[in-house]
Amino acid sequence: MQNNDLVTVICSCFNHAKFVTDSIQSVLNQSYKNIQIIIVDDCSTDDSVSVIENFIIQFPQILFIKNTSNLGLTKSFNNAVKLAKGDYLVDLAADDVLFPDCITIQLETFKNTTLKNLAIVYGNAEIISEKGDHFSYNFEVDSNLKTSKKRISGDLYAKIISLETTICSVSAMLKKSVFDELKGYDERLSFEDLDYWIRVSRFYTIEFIDAILVQKRKTPNSLHSSFSIPKNTNGFSTYLILRKAFTLNKNKTEHRILSKRVNNEIKFALKTHNHSLALRNIVLRIQIGLKSI
């Protein structure tokens, strides 16, 4: 592969002493070698820091950031990006593992794409247990390990705000110049990845790679969400994301799509007796409705 672009992999750790060395080793084992590795420990209460320090003694090129207080994944990642020198970013949780050709395939996709203004590429992920046993795949696959249902690439804004398209964030590579332009992750949100995909897809294109690029470990402390909006988590964060999407909409069709999403949130808020959240979403629904007439 004739490519010498620098890729920065940011490995975020919080109480992952059992897994973090496997995660770092998977980066060191990449077939593509021009990689900057930054590890961020978000004030772990287990042995993560000592495990990392002992492991990286033989790898002085690895940058290790030790937070003195728990900042959360989003702020920790944004802070690490300030030290990133790469043209591309990989957001790696310390309990996940990259397959050896992951970065090679991601970079080749960026270089060979026919899409204009490509900002993010992503693929499929194998879901594994705490012990490394196979559970499933993020997107269902056939006997050839290709996705059973065709996934589209390109302008995905309407598909993402409707949740018709969900994205496997753990298998993604981000163009750093775009991340910087959009001022990174929104640190107020529980679903910073979904919000980022929405903002990116408004202005840029996204490409799917039909390959299994990573192993995502399913544990109680897993750092990444699944790039949808789970129904058992912070509804206010969802509301903020949908309100931001409203300001990004450009036409009546997009407003109608977003209205359906907000309607679902209203129903859920009422079902869970979260009346203040329901009221916020009702007001948002009215505002969107006035624009979609």
Same domain, 76 and 165: yes
Domain boundary (183, 217, 251) is at 217
**Would strands 205-217 and 88-93 be described as parallel, antiparallel, or unpaired?**
unpaired
Shared-domain flag, residues 89 and 194? yes
In a 13 Å sphere around the CA of 234, the CA atoms on its Cβ side amount to 10
Instruction: For residue 163, give its domain range.
Output: 7-217
Residue 164 shares a structural domain with residue 255: no
The answer to whether residues 121 and 56 belong to one domain is: yes
For residue 36, the SS3 value is strand
Q: What is the pTM of this model?
A: 0.92
**Which one-letter amino acid corresponds to residue 274?**
N
Residue 229 is assigned to a structural domain of this protein: no
Q: What tens-digit pLDDT sequence spans the chain (293 residues)?
A: 457 899 999 999 999 999 999 999 999 999 999 999 999 999 999 999 999 999 999 999 999 999 999 999 999 999 999 999 999 999 999 999 999 999 999 999 999 999 999 999 999 999 999 999 999 999 999 999 999 999 999 999 999 999 889 999 999 999 999 999 999 999 988 768 889 999 999 999 999 999 999 999 987 656 554 333 344 346 888 999 999 999 999 999 999 999 999 999 999 999 999 999 999 999 999 999 999 87
Separation CA 172–CA 167 (nearest Å): 9
Identify the CATH number of the domain in which residue 166 sits. 3.90.550.10
Collect all residues with Cβ–Cβ distance below 8 Å to 92 and sequence separation of at least 6: 9, 10, 11, 12, 23, 27, 98, 170
Whether residue 196 contacts residue 122, with contact meaning beta carbons closer than 8 Å, is answered with no
Q: Which two tokens stand for residue 76?
A: 């920790």
Beta bridge partners of 134: 128
Cα R_g (the chain), whole angstroms: 19
- Report the C-alpha gap between 96 and 87 in whole angstroms: 22
Do 117 and 204 fall within a single domain?
yes
Asked whether residue 97 is assigned to any structural domain, the reply reads: yes
Distance CA 243, CA 262 (A): 9
Q: Is 179 exposed, middle or buried (0-12, 13-18, 19+ CB in 10 A)?
A: buried
| Residues β-bridged to residue 136 | 127
Has residue 81 been placed in a domain? yes
| Same domain as 253, residue 199 | no
Same-domain pairing of 203 and 278: no
Query: What is the domain count for the chain?
Result: 2
Regarding whether 169 and 283 lie in a shared domain, the answer is: no
